[in-house]
Structure formats: C-alpha cells, structure tokens
Amino acid sequence: MAKPKQSAALGFIFITIFVDVLGLGVIIPVLPKLLQTLGHIDVREASWYNGWLTFVYASMQLIFASIMGNLSDRYGRRPILLISLFGFGIDYTVMAFSPTIAWLFVGRTIAGICGASTSTATAYIADVSTGDKRAANFGLVGAASAVGLIFGIALGAYLTAINLRLPFMAAAGFAFANGFYGLFVLPESLPPEHRRKFEWKRANPLLSLLRIYKKQPALASLLGATAIVYIAQKAVEYLMSFFVYEKFDWTPASVGTLGIFLGVVLVAIQGVLIRYTVPKFGQQKNIIAGLIFYAVGLSLVAVATQGWMLYFCMIPYCLGGLSGPAMQGLATEKVGKDEQGELQGAFAILNSLSLIVGPLLFSYVFFFFTKKTSSVYFPGAPYLLAAILMLISTFIAVRSFKKA
C-alpha cells in the first residue's frame, strides 16, 4: 500500500481533532446555563452536575480508549476515525434536543465512546511522522485543539444568545460533514505488514498500563507525569465558565471572548512556536519549561481579583502547552510501529482517568469554597490546587529523564 501524502493525512487529522474539541468548546459556555434551565438550579449546583456528566463521559473513554487503539492496530486507522466522527454527530444531536438533565448523560455516554478515537488520531500522526517532526506534528494536535476551542466557545457563547440548543446543532453538522468528507479523501496510514492481531488482554486499559510499567519504567514515569498534567488541566477546561460566572458575574459572550483569546494564543504556541523550541532546546527542556509555565498561570488565575486579569494569566498557562507535544513525541520514540496505537490508547486512558478524577475533584473544591456556609470564600481554590499538581508533575518528569 502506498504511503499517504503527509500533508493530506495531517490535514484531515487536524480537522478531526478540531471537531472533537469543538464539542468541548461548545459545552464550556452553554452547559452551566443549560443545566440551570433544565434543573432549575444555581451555578454551584450546576458545577456539581457537570462533574458527574464528565465522570460518565470519562468512564466510557476509559473503557473504550484501549479497545479503539488496539482495533486501529488491527484494522487500520481509517475505519475507527470515521465511525467516531459519525458517533459524535449523534451525540451532539442528542444533546441538542435533551428535554431533561438525564438525557445529557445519554449524550455524554455516546461522546465518551467516540472520544476514545483520539488515540487513533494520534497513532495516525505517529504513522506518518519521523524523528523530531513527530513532536512538531503532535503540536498540530494542540493547534487543532486550540482552533476547535476557539470556534466551539464562540459558537457556544454567541449562538446561546439565539437559542440554548443551537450550538449543539451546529456541532452535529460539523461532525457529520467531516465524516462524509473523510469517506472520500482519508487514506489509510497503517500498511497491512505493520498490523497485528487484536487481543482482548491488550485491550484491557489497566493491563495495558501495567505492561508499559513492567517493560519500560522510564516511560511509565513519563506517563505518570502526563496523567497529573491532564488532571490539573481540567480546572481550566471544565470549571472556568462556572468560576467566572460565580466570581465575576460574566455573560456567555464574555466567556466566548476569553475562549477565543485562549485559542489564538494556543494556536501560536502549539502550531508555530513549538516547531522552533523542540529542535533548538530538545524535548526534555520543553517539558520542564511548559510544566513550570502551567503552574505560574494557574497560580495567577487563583488570585485574580478582576476579570480582565484572566487575559494576562492565560499567557503563561498557554505557554505550558509546550510540554504536551514534547511528552508525546518523547514517548512515541520508545515503542515500535505496531505498538503506536496501544501507546496512544494509553495516553487516552490517562486522559479518561484524569476526567474521572479532575472535574469531580475541582467541582467539589469549588462548591465547598463558594457555598454560603463556608468559612472561607475562595473560588480560586481549584486553580491553586492545580498549580501544585503541575509542580508535582515537573518533579516526576525530571525523575523519568534520569531513569532513561
């Protein structure tokens, strides 16, 4: 089988991850208002429901991430990616017409199963990339996420003013359109000679992580540091809109403007800057610098006293994005071609575990420090906790370099 043209392959993967993150972006400004409307509750109670919605989503991702990654090692990347895109379209449609909060849980279940395809998308990148270009191309994943965040938050913020359901309808349209587009243009990236038999024991998410730990302790430590980063990131990804609604009394449009700013900065860093910093300084230095930037940005968010300060706080936070692609690039160098799907499945598993832990943890901390009976009113507490987690991750990452 002929090797697919790298530009076409990366272009489609960019769009696929864009659509995946678009759904997250849509939810960020809309979900608090939708939960309040459907459940007749306030922002603090809505944040608690949001934690459990994310728990359901993450649980499905945890179960299916390794299965999807291993299926892609057996049957190729293309069919798994296309199935996931059409599944996302169904999810957004369910969310758009949910009459109760219970139906939102149905939508999140579907999204969790389909969201497991991220491991396949990143395995596709590993298939068509070599050497230092891997880290740079994983930076494209970050850039696609940033662009998806920009459009998603913009859709969620501005279409909400017209109708609460309209942003989900738009997201469904994007997913279905990209799925049909992929039917005609997406080439397969994994030649038959590099495929392997599907084995259920390798599709078990916990056994997959245990096998990596036994075979490569240095890689296991790097994955552990990555898991803590994923957990800390959830304070921004899943709690920011609740935070600004509570502390600064923002409108959805204000959340949308901040989200657009955040996305633009992330595109510049992960789509452009990292292509220069990785070759110049190496992956390890990018990882350490990125994690420290994350900690600084989160600390500043925690103590911000005015809404406009968040724009300055997000600059060091976004610079933390230098660490993610470098971590993935370093990890992919440690496994063979026929194991890339399994490795990226492991990354997806860690992300799912972080989604189980992070949103519930930060939602509880936020709820505790904003309720009327609390002795200390401190909405920024989740972000201070997230900054501490980033510092712990830095320590673990440095130890993994020494082990290697």
pLDDT at position 341: 63
Q: Is residue 197 part of a domain?
A: no
Would you say 88 and 111 are in contact if contact means Cβ atoms under 8 Å apart?
Answer: yes
CATH of the domain at 87: 1.20.1250.20
Q: Of 216 and 401, which is predicted with more confidence?
A: 401
Q: Is the pLDDT of residue 2 over 50?
A: no
Rounded to the nearest integer, the mean pLDDT of the chain is 80
Q: Is residue 38 part of a domain?
A: yes
The string of pLDDT tens digits covering residues 21-49 is: 777 777 778 888 888 888 888 888 888 88
pLDDT at position 169: 87
Q: Is residue 192 part of a domain?
A: no
Task: State the pLDDT confidence band at 4, using cuts at 50, 70 and 90.
Answer: very low
CA distance 37 to 69: 38
**pTM for the complete prediction?**
0.72
Number of domains within the chain: 1
Greatest CA separation for the chain = 66
Q: Is residue 189 part of a domain?
A: no
Residues in the chain: 404
How far is CA 246 from each of CA 52, 126, 251, 307, rounded to the nearest angstrom?
Answer: 19, 42, 11, 11
CB contact set of 7 (below 8 Å; sequence gap of 6+) = none
Q: Is residue 230 part of a domain?
A: yes
Question: What single letter denotes the amino acid at residue 177?
Answer: A
Whole domain around residue 353: which residue ranges? 6-183+203-403
Q: Is residue 373 part of a domain?
A: yes
Helix (H, G, I), strand (E, B) or coil at 2: coil
Q: Is the pLDDT of residue 1 over 50?
A: no
Q: Is residue 47 part of a domain?
A: yes
CA distance 248 to 251: 9
CB contact set of 399 (below 8 Å; sequence gap of 6+) = 221
